[in-house]
Amino acid sequence: LGIDVFDYDKSGEIDQKEINHMITATSELLGKTCDASTARNLSKKILDACDKKRCGKITKEEFVDGSVKRFYG
């Protein structure tokens, strides 16, 4: 998963800064632009949807669970 690539400190979790980078890098790969404000808003939405422990970081499992529930459940 992309989450592993953006877990820069290899903690097993990604924080808002790492999520911001994931969003902007993915946008660039798709040939789109994503300004800092948009990336922050999207990363906050991801954290709100996935961060079960409300610690400001999400694990791969939280990311997958949050994504599945949001889009398939």
pLDDT at 10: 92
Average pLDDT, consecutive stretches of 10 residues, N- to C-terminus, the chain (73 residues): 86 94 93 94 92 93 83 66
pTM, two decimals, is 0.82
pLDDT at 69: 73
Q: What is the distance between the terminal CA atoms of the chain, rounded to a whole angstrom?
A: 21
Residue 69's alpha-carbon distances to 2, 41, 72, in angstroms, are: 19, 20, 5
- SS3 (DSSP) at 33: coil
